[in-house]
Chain A
Amino acid sequence: MTNLRSLIQTLMALGTNAYLLFPFGGSVIYQGPLKAVCNPGLNCYSCPGALLSCPVGAFQNFMASLRFSTGGFPLTGAIVVGYLGFIGTAVGRLTCGWVCPFGFIQDLIHKIPTRKFSLWKPLRWVKYAVLLVMVIVMPIFILDASGLGHPWFCKLLCPAGTLEGAVPLLLLKPGLWDTVGFFFWNKLAVLILILAAAILISRFFCRVLCPLGAFYSLFSRISLVQLEFIEGNCVECGACLHACPTGVVPNQEFDSRECIMCLKCVDVCHFRALDFSMRHLPGKPAKIKRTTSPL
C-alpha cells in the first residue's frame, strides 16, 4: 500500500505540475482553461509548471473581493467551498495523504536521516485558527490604502507559494528581484523553518498550519471512507502508533481528525486489526469499530 501511495503522490505532484513550456512562454505560468479547476491539495498556482489553481489562494481572493462585488450575484467563493466540501464529504483527509503535492514534499524530506521528534499535540488546533483568521477574516476585513483585501495566508505564511512559486519565478524572471521586500524575506524564513520542522517532525505543516487540512478534517468523521478498527484482533503491540505520520494512536483514536488515511498503520498491522473500508455501505452497520473479527 505504501508503494501504491508513493506512486499516486508522485503522479499527482507531477501530473498537476506538468506544464513544461514555461521557459518559452512570455507569461512563465500556464494560462489555459485548466486553471479554472482547483487542485484538491495545496499547490501554488504561480508555480511555473502548475496546471490547476490553488483552492486556498482562490478562496482568499474571493473573500478579499467580497466587498467589491457589484451587480449580479456576489462572488462568494461558493464554487471553491462546494468543490472542496464535496471532496471532503467523499474522502475526507485522504486527499492530504494521497494527493496533496506539498504533503508529498514533506513525506520526502522527512526521510532525511536525523533524530525525529513528536509534536506537542495542542499545536494541532493552530491550523483551525489559520483557516479562520488568515483565510477568511483577514482577507475580508484588512484592507490596503486602496480599499482592497489581500490573500494573507499566501502573503505571510504559505510555504508552497514560496517553494513552488516565488523561488522558481525569481530565478526565471530576474526582474522580479527589484520588487521583493519584507514579505518575500519573511516567507523565505517561514519556508526554511517549516521545511526544517518537517524533517524533524513528520507532516509538521499538515498537522499544525495547513488550512486545507483543517477544512478537510471537519469531514473526517462522516466521509464515505474510513479507517476501520477491529478490536477483537488488536494485541496492542503499538506497531500502528509508531507507523502513523500524524501521531494518531490508531487503535484508540481510529476516527481521528488528524488521520490522513495514508494506511501505513494498516500495512504494519500483522493482526489485521485495522482496515480501510467504505462507511455507510448498504447492509453494513454505520459504526466503525467492530469488536469481533470478520474472519
Chain B
Amino acid sequence: MPKKVLWLIIIFTILFIIGVNAGELGYLMNLGNTICLSCIGVG
C-alpha cells in the first residue's frame, strides 16, 4: 500500500477520533432526531 494512501487512512481515522472526542456524536444524534426544516423548505 503506498504511503499516500496509508497516511490518508491515518489522517481520516485521527479526524474521526477527534470528532468523537469533541462530542460530535451527540451533536449528530441531536441533529438527526429533529426534523430538518431546511430539507423540507420551511424557514
Contacts and interface: CB of A to CB of B under 8 A. Distances in A.
Contact of B41 (A36, A79, A185): A185
Nearest to B12: A85
B40 A165 contact: yes
A145 B28 CA distance: 25
A173 to B, nearest CB: 8
A179 B42 contact: yes
A83 interface: yes
Contacts of A155: 38, 41
Contacts of B27: 61-62, 75
Contacts of B28: 35-36, 38, 53, 58, 79-80
Contacts of B8: 85, 89, 219, 222
Nearest to A281: B1
Interface in A56-78: 57-58, 61-62, 72-78
B43 A224 contact: no
Interface string B24-37: 11111101110111
A89 B1 CA distance: 12
A53 B32 contact: yes
B17 to A, nearest CB: 7
Contact of B20 (A61, A72, A79, A183): A79
Contacts of B25: 36, 79
Q: How large is the interface on A (under 10, 10 to 19, 20 to 34, 35 or more residues)?
A: 35 or more
Interface residues of B, number: 37
Contacts of A61: 27, 31
A80 B25 CA distance: 10
B39 A79 contact: no
Interface string A211-232: 0000000010010100000000
A29 interface: yes
A186 B43 CA distance: 12
A154 B33 contact: no
Given A33-B29, A35-B29, A280-B1, A86 B12 contact: yes
A98 interface: no
A30 B24 CA distance: 19
Max chain A CB contacts within 10 Å: which of B11, B12, B20?
A: B12
A286 B33 CA distance: 44
Max chain B CB contacts within 10 Å: which of A36, A38, A90, A186?
A: A36
Contact of A82 (B18, B23, B35): B18
Given A183-B38, A184-B40, 13 more contacts: A38-B28, A46-B35, A58-B28, A77-B19, A78-B16, A78-B19, A79-B22, A81-B12, A82-B13, A86-B9, A180-B42, A183-B41, A183-B43
Interface of B: 1-2, 4-5, 8-9, 11-29, 31-33, 35-43
7 closest A-B pairs by CB: A79-B19, A82-B16, A35-B32, A184-B41, A82-B15, A161-B39, A85-B12
